[in-house]
């Protein structure tokens, strides 16, 4: 379940990053979008490798809630888009940190726990970037 949830989260963050590159007006949002795309693509490669190893079938799209948020973002523009993007990404990042920490405490697979251990600091760095960006956008 952890692999599927993380995969869907990665897909959502990558799509949100691409959307920010198209619609974002604040340079900081665009810079963070590049970081999100790169980091979540790398994490997702590791997720997919473990899913293959454990014969876990991964979904091919973000979950319904993420798709709804992406559609809401796509309807916005300018500063309104940037503010909503930062707010939504921060909420997603907080949820990802919580999920990773739960996996570290309660997970049974050493490989999956290692993935969570590697991903949590990356996502915590994302939260720091988002918090700093709110002062600039």
- The single-letter DSSP state of residue 64 is H
Tokens representing 135 are: 């002062």
pLDDT reading at 137 higher than 80: no
Percentage, residues of the chain above pLDDT 70? 100
Q: How confident is the model at residue 134 (pLDDT cuts 50, 70, 90)?
A: confident
Rounded distance between C-alpha atoms, residue 96 and residue 115, angstroms: 13
Structure token pair of residue 109: 């697979």
- pTM of the complete model: 0.92
Indicate the angle between helix axes 78-106 and 2-23, nearest 10 degrees: 160
Q: What is the pLDDT of residues 7-46, one digit of tens each?
A: 999 999 999 999 999 999 999 999 999 999 999 999 999 9
């Amino acid at each position: 379940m952890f692999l599927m949830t993380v995969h869907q989260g990665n897909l959502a963050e990558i799509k949100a990053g691409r959307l920010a590159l198209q619609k974002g007006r604040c340079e900081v949002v665009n810079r963070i979008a590049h970081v999100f795309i790169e980091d979540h693509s790398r994490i997702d490669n590791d997720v997919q490798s473990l899913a293959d190893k454990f014969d876990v079938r991964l979904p091919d799209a973000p979950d319904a809630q993420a798709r709804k948020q992406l559609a809401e973002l796509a309807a916005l523009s300018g500063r309104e888009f940037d503010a909503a993007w930062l707010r939504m990404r921060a909420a997603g990042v907080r949820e990802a940190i919580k999920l990773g920490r739960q996996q570290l405490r309660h997970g049974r697979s050493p490989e999956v726990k290692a993935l969570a251990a590697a991903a949590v600091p990356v996502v915590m760095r994302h939260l720091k970037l988002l918090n700093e960006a709110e002062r600039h956008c």
